[in-house]
Homo-oligomer: A and B are copies of this chain.
Amino acid sequence: MSFVFAFDFPHPVPPRELKDLLGGKGANLAEMTSVLGLPVPPGFTISTEACRSYIVSGWPEGLTGEVEAAIAFLETALGKRLGDARDPLLVSVRSGAKFSMPGMMDTVLNLGLNDRSVEGLALQTGDIRFAYDSYRRFIAMYGRIVLDLPGEVFEELFAAAKELACTKSDSGVPAELLRYLCGAYKDIVEARTGSPFPQDPKEQIFGAIRAVFSSWNGARAVAYREREGIPHDLGTAVNVQVMVFGNRDDSSGTGVGFTRDPATGSKGMYGDFLVNAQGEDVVAGVRNTEPLSTLEASFPAVFVELSEIFQRLELHYRDMCDIEFTIERGKLWMLQTRVGKRTGVAAIRMAVEMVSDPAIGLSREEALLRISSDHLDQVLHPQFATQVVEPLTRGLGASPGAAVGRVYFNSGDAVAAARRGEPVILVRKETSPDDVHGMLASAGVLTTRGGLVSHAAVVARGWGKPAVVGADEIKISSGCMWVGDVKIEEGEEISIDGTSGVVVKGTVPLQAAHPPQEFSELLAWADAVAASRVKVRANADSGPDAKVAREFGAKGIGLCRTEHMFLGEGRLPVVRAMILARTEEEEAAALEELRRTQRDDFMEILEVMDGLPVTVRLLDPPLHEFLPDTRELEVKKAVEGLSVEESRLLYTAKQWEEANPMLGVRGVRLAVLKPGLYAMQVRALVEAAIALRQKGRSPKVEIMIPLTISGAELRLARSWVEEAIATTGGEGIDITIGTMIETPRAALVAGEIAESAEFFSFGTNDLTQMTFGFSRDDIEGKLMPTYLGLGLLEENPFKTVDNRALMELVRLGIQRGREARPGLKVGICGEHGGEPESIARLVGAGVDYVSCSPYRVPVARLAVAQALIRMAG
């Protein structure tokens, strides 16, 4: 035997560990049968290996014989024969891949029924109607699933039969008509396929097996695997199992259940049951189900047995199980089990409770590995309270959580509406620094362009505010937005889900964010795992942001962007005065004014983060970001002329305008052209630190130079910084000086750069842009979806740090940096710092800390711990 394994096959390891070979369903059926000895209808699994072989080179040699032998064994064991006219054996055929996967052939029931055995079924059950109804369903199901016929052709005929029988319920159709329908269905099959409906039960079974194999490469299954990143070469297993009938009589029934409540995590059996029904009836939701607890009264013996099995399964799997069962004439049969899906609240609660439950005895590490970032998102952000929503359109889920509000199309209107007390969704083509006050006033943000690292996405994540970006089906025109023919006017309500990217017209009820009480305990365990090895910091540019970050458990600030301070109210005119300065004196005066305000900003942040390191990045963006839009001014100039002030602004803005600002005069380059700038910032920072020390605080300052490309460049920049520290009297302050590694060259020449750097922080956003030649503003909306859809890239490198080129550069940079300066501190402060898979890769590369937006800190704390646990494992 090499392709086929009976459920009680004596595998050398517990079958649940053989999902690669047996698929998930098959592995668990074998586990229940052979390890736990539970009442499972007998059957066998055809391995994934058979499927792989089938896909590559057709029906595997020897498989026919193996399947026939397994069936013969079943027939002998049960004393029934396939197709028997008196007491026929009936089986189900189900697919079962390693990962549960929509789009693949699911289930064909009642195989073995034919014109002869249907009589045997009638004889055995004493219920002609039941037998022919089963046969009718089987032909339709087989026709649809195995023979690929449209389901309507059968449904139309059945509707006609109901009309003839003057009934509206399926069960009102009498046995004679059902028998007639069986004939008619067979005719349809023959007419549409050119061959009669297969009467040979083995032919039926082999047809179904072949259909399962083929469905592995069906379009929907392939698309699903693409989306989920499941390899295409796994193949699926096939499970063939003896039928049991929950719809046989009123001492029969079927149910699904969980060993704990998957919504809340509370202990105890939880699930639904239907008397006299088959599994599909429970799922279809046609009849009202009863809670499992009612079994105590209606099936007391079964209830005791089932309760015990639930307990055994949970203890055996050491996790909450999802279970399907059937009762046939008072006898309990277990049909399936697997580790159950759960909400975020339930996941956290169960994980923590199973650690303190001595019977399960979960380790803290195991508990941590059971929590996903989606679970945390669910408890940290409001969610749609219902799964059933009708999407108006979809964009990219850019900042998790759901929001409901009235749409406004510019920031001024949004602010005004918020002042009137309206909840607001700000809808923009894309956002810019001018929209920051409008975004702040809104409950959520929706843009029609841009990607996961667009301005809207980054700012919204920074504030933990729901955002959907790049919803490009939406067209905004004056005072309203359109999606196809649907028009939404200013002030109308919409709902957005920043996790899934769904946009809904009207109000969807929300469920508030409520981390369960076990949340903090779990994250404390995560921190204990990370201990001193890898820290989580936050990207924060203001006191309030820093406060949120600290509350969420950040161990410092990894990126404080000083340019955001330049954009603050009242600051922009001073920044512009500096840029427009015609003399050194004018420039010095403007720098002096900026210094005073920056000092206050720094004091606030350092105070909040007292005792923890705060990495301050000196000015990074190109100067024209602080200047007005030249296009608008040019149009104004042509139409109505400009004031002297405006003319100067236009002239200067055009001087600083760049063809590719991303690759232009920014970061330390700007400081080389305007050397007073960094000195001013450092002085402000040192003064803030000195003032705090005088108040008894312990500021820890890390000064970071952006966009380095060579050792000599950093050496020069470092000399300015050191001079400014010295002239400001900052000798006693805890200050280190480092740099960002965000150009490919910096990563490659990291050795010479490390000579002047006490720390590195990888700016993986820019590094990704330059390594791929991808301008995120230009690529994410238009091109990225196409590239991912066509499989030209496996992942969006702005979401998950590219494991090939990017991580190679990161690893080289760390290695060369630490060779030149042993013990060099290395962090990462790009958007990847809040994404679990990226964190795992970066922790694997040896970073000392990751820094992310304040609201992502819990996710990062968990991800860091998981990465370390997996590395140790």
Greatest chain B CB density within 10 A among A769, A772, A783 is at A772
Q: Whole-angstrom distance between the alpha carbons of A790 and B805 in the complex?
A: 32
CB distance from A773 to the nearest CB of B (A): 4
Greatest chain B CB density within 10 A among A766, A772, A773, A805 is at A773
Q: Is the CB of A779 within 8 A of B634?
A: no
CB distance from A210 to the nearest CB of B (A): 30
Report if A420 contacts B (CB, 8 A).
no
Q: Is the CB of B716 within 8 A of A745?
A: no
Greatest chain B CB density within 10 A among A665, A774, A806 is at A774
Chain A contributes a number of interface residues (CB within 8 A of B) equal to: 53
Stretch at the interface among A42-50, A281-289, A655-663: A655-663
Closest residue of chain B to A709 (Cβ to Cβ) is B772
Closest residue of chain B to A786 (Cβ to Cβ) is B672
Report if A638 contacts B (CB, 8 A).
yes
Q: From the candidates B635, B673, B770, B787, name the one contacting A672 in the complex (CB within 8 A).
A: B787
Report if A837 contacts B (CB, 8 A).
no
Q: Whole-angstrom distance between the alpha carbons of A804 and B663 in the complex?
A: 19
Closest residue of chain B to A793 (Cβ to Cβ) is B710
Knowing A658-B778, A663-B779, A673-B786, the reply to whether A709 touches B634 (Cβ < 8 A) is: no
Knowing A804-B745, A805-B744, A805-B748, the reply to whether A712 touches B773 (Cβ < 8 A) is: no
A762-805 CB mask vs B (1 if < 8 Å, else 0) is: 00001001111111011100110011001111000000001011
Q: Whole-angstrom distance between the alpha carbons of A779 and B660 in the complex?
A: 10
Q: Is the CB of B770 within 8 A of A665?
A: no
Q: Is the CB of A712 within 8 A of B792?
A: yes
Q: Whole-angstrom distance between the alpha carbons of A749 and B710 in the complex?
A: 24
Considering only residues 645-678 of chain A, those with a C-beta below 8 Å from chain B are 658-665, 669, 672-673
Q: Is the CB of A782 within 8 A of B744?
A: no
Q: Is the CB of A659 within 8 A of B744?
A: no
CB distance from A278 to the nearest CB of B (A): 45
Q: Whole-angstrom distance between the alpha carbons of A773 and B658 in the complex?
A: 13
Considering only residues 482-499 of chain A, those with a C-beta below 8 Å from chain B are none
24 pairs from A and B in contact (CB 8 Å cutoff): A634-B634, A638-B639, A658-B778, A659-B778, A660-B663, A660-B778, A663-B663, A664-B775, A664-B779, A665-B778, A669-B783, A673-B783, A709-B793, A712-B790, A716-B792, A744-B809, A745-B771, A745-B773, A745-B806, A748-B771, A748-B805, A749-B804, A749-B805, A770-B770
Extra A-B contacts (12), CB below 8 Å, given A662-B773, A743-B772, A744-B809: A634-B634, A658-B775, A660-B660, A660-B661, A660-B662, A662-B662, A663-B663, A672-B786, A673-B783, A709-B772, A744-B771, A770-B771
User: Using a CB–CB distance below 8 Å, which chain A residues touch chain B?
Assistant: 631, 634-635, 638-639, 658-665, 669, 672-673, 707, 709-710, 712-713, 716, 742-745, 748-749, 766, 769-775, 777-779, 782-783, 786-787, 790-793, 802, 804-806, 808-809
